[in-house]
Amino acid sequence: MTLAGFLSPRKLALLALIPLLSACTVDVGPSYSRPPPRPPGPAMCSMEYAPVCGQRSGRVETFTNACQARAAGFAIINRGQCRRPTPITSRPPPPPRAARPQMCTMEYAPVCGQRGARVQTFANACQARAANFAVISRGQCARQPGITVRPQRPAPRPQPGGICTREYRPVCGQRGSQIRTFPNACEASNSGFRIVSQGACRR
């Protein structure tokens, strides 16, 4: 039995065309060049926040994630945000800024403060801390051998109309011949009275 007996006439016709098609050549001429490959389409990146630092031609930039850096043509140089190089200067760094002056109340609750070997009595703990003293005890500083105790300089007299706390620690104040009880020392000072004693005035 021959091969033609196994194949249908249609299949035989296709087999006969194969040698003819393989002998064909196409002349495209001398100026023919392959078309350049298509640039890849824009990358689809997620909005995930995992910052990276990328670099391209000496330019450094932070990207939301690695995909976005690669899509912009940047090579990833490290994870996280790009760090700015610290400039090299010959000058020493500036000294730390002094803390802002602290606002303290005028309440009288004496404490003993210490800074180094210096010991000083303050009207209250806030005023001691504002002067950079550590509070070492409540009440006035006790005299100890070899330690000089300095009383606190009198606080500047508050201007009339200043802000006072609402604490009740009565004092007796005097202005000229007038004597009056105030709820606290701040109120007396704000009214222009000099404190003559702690507690209410005795008639």
**Which of these ranges, 35-49, 145-159, 167-181, has the smallest mean pLDDT?**
145-159
Return the structure tokens found at 44: 């689809």
The pLDDT assigned to 4 comes to: 55
113 and 146 part of one domain: yes
The pLDDT assigned to 46 comes to: 81
121 and 145 part of one domain: yes
Buried b (16+ CB within 10 A) or exposed e, 72-95: eebeeeeeeebeeeeeeeeeeeee
φ, ψ for residue 15, nearest 5 deg: -65, -35
Residue 182 domain flag? yes
For all residues of the chain together, what is the average pLDDT?
Answer: 77
Residue 6 domain flag? no
Residue 31 domain flag? no
CATH assignment at residue 185:
3.30.60.30
Residue 38 domain flag? no
Residue 41 domain flag? no
Which residues face 54 on adjacent strands? 61, 76
Residue 9 domain flag? no
56 and 74 part of one domain: yes
141 and 114 part of one domain: yes
164 and 147 part of one domain: no
Question: Is pLDDT of 193 > 80?
Answer: yes
Question: Is pLDDT of 16 > 60?
Answer: yes
Residue 126 domain flag? yes
Domain encompassing residue 116: 107-151
Count of Cβ atoms closer than 10 Å to residue 34 Cβ: 5
171 and 136 part of one domain: no
**Secondary structure (DSSP) of 17-32:** HHHHHHT------TT-
pLDDT digits over 107-131, tens only?
888 889 998 888 888 888 888 888 8
Counted domains in the chain: 3
The pLDDT assigned to 95 comes to: 65
The more confident residue out of 78 and 144 is: 78
The pLDDT assigned to 159 comes to: 53
**Measured between alpha carbons, how far is 156 from 135 in angstroms, rounded to an integer?**
21
This prediction has a pTM of 0.28
Q: pLDDT above 90 covers what percent of the chain?
A: 16
The pLDDT assigned to 202 comes to: 83
The pLDDT assigned to 118 comes to: 87
pLDDT digits over 152-169, tens only?
555 445 455 567 877 888
CATH assignment at residue 141:
3.30.60
Residue 3 domain flag? no
Roughly how many angstroms between the first and final C-alpha of the chain, as a whole number?
Answer: 147
pLDDT digits over 75-105, tens only?
999 999 888 765 555 666 666 665 555 678 7
The more confident residue out of 43 and 49 is: 49
pLDDT band at 45 (very low <50, low <70, confident <90, very high): confident
Question: Is pLDDT of 41 > 90?
Answer: no
**Measured between alpha carbons, how far is 38 from 29 in angstroms, rounded to an integer?**
23
